[in-house]
């Protein structure tokens, strides 16, 4: 496992999720080296049903994770997707099959051409987009059947007719007093028409809903005014980044910065989390198993507030000196302890003292984790004053840095100033998974 700084060469966007007569399919947009192409690929029933059961995606971009993981406690593979718009992003997890994992592997290959590339006139024009800025903004994902386009036109005509009929009836009966009631009736009529038309083309019980964004969104917008949660706005300040499993990750692309706290949980964990929350950012916490037993409530609190939680060994030993069996037990003990307290499986490991070799890295991979190192070390554990720690930040270029910090009182005291300094540089904070 070489040590190297990597950039995200591939991004997979989910454009549509479909159940047609030829099975389950999804349309994906691949962004690779600035070029954007669209493909239609078949997926298995299990993965389709899991993805289709997730919350609605209207008006949002959906980025698929490039990786899947094995959850030993739930005995299933799972992957994730990130849905996002201009004000927030949210990671959603779903169970998946080995067939889906194989598909992800094929999609990541530079020479991959095994899918059906979209060929209709409208989509072909968008098949190759030379500008990365344009390629990064595909249309929002939609869930549809194989005849969604034809049905959309028919449904729009039907709904407009129903609207006219309802309007005339209301004029005759003088029932304009409750406009909200009228909107409900229109929506219900649309749903009934939609259901009856869908039944004659798809007999499967899990046929997805065709979402008419032009009509439905106008009704929704007339009924309610969206309110942007302050916490959703704060999420713009940080981003969740998925580590690759083929290298030791020790740096970030320019424009990003990450704070990581080793050796917790401790009596300072909650205070650190509260400072991060007050600043609208998140950080990475690498916990020692033995400490988890003493401060389980701190682990629960950090996870509940959106912090990234990782494995930092059971006892902070130099693990390159251990046998393979010792390391296997060491890592699994920590993961088991954390699994009782946090919502998601542990996928990040930081070796104590940064000591890692091929044998340890292989065991980390077998337990479905990735190695996270660092490239900025203020040595806060031996600093004489908070100002000494802050001086390190000001004396080095923070862009692309993964900072190694510890849960110490001296670090807690200067943390707000550290965050303010990094914010002043216009950097986006990163948490890892």
Main-chain phi, psi angles of 304, to 5 degrees = -65, -25
Q: Which two tokens stand for residue 13?
A: 């966007």
Residue 40's contacts (CB-CB under 8 Å, 6 or more residues apart) are: 25, 26, 27, 115, 116, 117, 118
Q: Which of 354, 418, 414, 404 is nearest to 384 (CA)?
A: 414
Q: Are 232 and 306 in contact (CB under 8 A)?
A: no
Residues 210-234: tens digit of each pLDDT? 332 333 333 333 333 344 444 444 4
Main-chain phi, psi angles of 114, to 5 degrees = -85, 0
214 vs 211: CA distance, rounded Å: 9
Asked if omega into 265 is within 30° of 0 (cis), the reply is yes
* pLDDT of res. 145: 45
378 vs 391: CA distance, rounded Å: 9
163 vs 183: CA distance, rounded Å: 9
Report residues of the chain scoring pLDDT below 70.
Answer: 1-9, 33-34, 72-74, 85-89, 111-236
What domains appear along the chain, each with residue ranges and CATH number? 10-140 (no CATH), 148-223 (no CATH), 232-432 (3.20.20.370)
How many CA atoms lie within 13 Å of 149's alpha carbon, on the beta-carbon side? 4
Q: How far is CA 117 from CA 107, 114, 140, 196, 374, in A?
A: 13, 9, 19, 32, 40
* pLDDT of res. 63: 86
List residues bridging with 63 in a β-sheet: 13, 82
Residue keyed to tokens 């609190």: 301
* pLDDT of res. 111: 67
Q: How far is CA 364 from CA 182, 246, 258, 313, 316, in A?
A: 59, 11, 22, 11, 15
* pLDDT of res. 411: 98
Q: Which two tokens stand for residue 407?
A: 């849960």
299 vs 338: CA distance, rounded Å: 8
Q: Which of 81, 413, 418 is nearest to 283 (CA)?
A: 418
30 vs 292: CA distance, rounded Å: 41
Angle at alpha carbon of residue 36, lines to 35 and 42, rounded to 5°: 135
Long-range CB contacts for residues 322-330, cutoff 8 Å, separation at least 24: 324/359, 324/363, 327/359, 327/360, 327/363, 328/363, 328/366, 328/367, 330/289
Q: State pTM to two decimals.
A: 0.52
Q: How far is CA 42 from CA 17, 21, 123, in A?
A: 10, 12, 18
* pLDDT of res. 393: 98
Residue keyed to tokens 């969206």: 226
* pLDDT of res. 236: 62
């Amino acid at each position: 496992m070489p040590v190297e700084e990597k950039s995200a060469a591939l991004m997979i966007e989910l454009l549509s999720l479909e159940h047609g007569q030829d099975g389950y399919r999804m349309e994906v947009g691949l962004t690779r080296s600035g070029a954007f192409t669209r493909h239609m690929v078949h997926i298995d029933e299990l993965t389709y049903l899991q993805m289709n059961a997730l919350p609605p995606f209207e008006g949002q971009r959906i980025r698929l994770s490039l990786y899947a993981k094995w959850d030993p406690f739930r005995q299933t593979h799972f992957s994730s997707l990130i849905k996002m718009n201009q004000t927030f992003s949210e990671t959603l997890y779903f169970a998946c099959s080995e067939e889906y994992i194989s598909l992800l592997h094929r999609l990541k290959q530079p020479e991959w051409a095994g899918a059906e590339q979209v060929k209709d006139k409208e989509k072909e024009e968008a098949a190759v987009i030379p500008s990365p800025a344009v390629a990064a903004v595909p249309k929002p994902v939609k869930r549809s059947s194989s005849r969604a386009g034809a049905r959309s036109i028919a449904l729009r005509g039907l709904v407009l007719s129903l609207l006219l009929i309802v309007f005339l009836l209301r004029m005759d009966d003088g029932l304009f007093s409750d406009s909200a009631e009228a909107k409900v009736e229109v929506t219900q009529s649309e749903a009934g028409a939609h259901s009856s038309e869908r039944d004659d083309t798809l007999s499967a019980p899990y046929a997805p809903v065709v979402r008419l964004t032009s009509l439905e969104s106008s009704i929704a917008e007339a009924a309610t005014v969206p309110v942007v949660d302050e916490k959703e706005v704060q999420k713009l300040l940080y981003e969740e980044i998925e580590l690759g499993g083929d290298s030791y990750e020790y740096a970030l692309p320019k424009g990003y910065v990450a704070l990581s706290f080793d050796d917790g949980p401790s009596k300072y964990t909650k205070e650190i989390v509260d400072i991060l929350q007050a600043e609208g950012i998140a950080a990475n916490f690498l916990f020692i198993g033995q400490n988890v037993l003493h401060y389980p409530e701190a682990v629960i609190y950090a996870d509940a507030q959106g912090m990234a939680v990782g494995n930092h060994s059971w006892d902070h030993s130099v693990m390159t000196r251990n046998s393979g069996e010792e390391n296997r037990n060491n890592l699994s003990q920590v993961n088991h302890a954390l699994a009782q307290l946090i919502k998601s499986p542990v996928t990040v490991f930081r070796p104590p003292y940064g000591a890692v070799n091929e044998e340890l890295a292989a065991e980390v991979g077998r337990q479905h984790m990735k190695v996270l190192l660092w490239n900025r070390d203020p040595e806060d554990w031996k600093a004489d004053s908070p100002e000494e720690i802050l001086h390190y930040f000001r004396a080095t270029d923070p862009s692309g840095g993964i900072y190694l910090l510890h849960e110490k009182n001296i670090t807690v005291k200067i943390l707000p100033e550290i965050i303010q300094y990094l914010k002043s540089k216009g950097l986006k904070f990163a948490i890892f998974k």
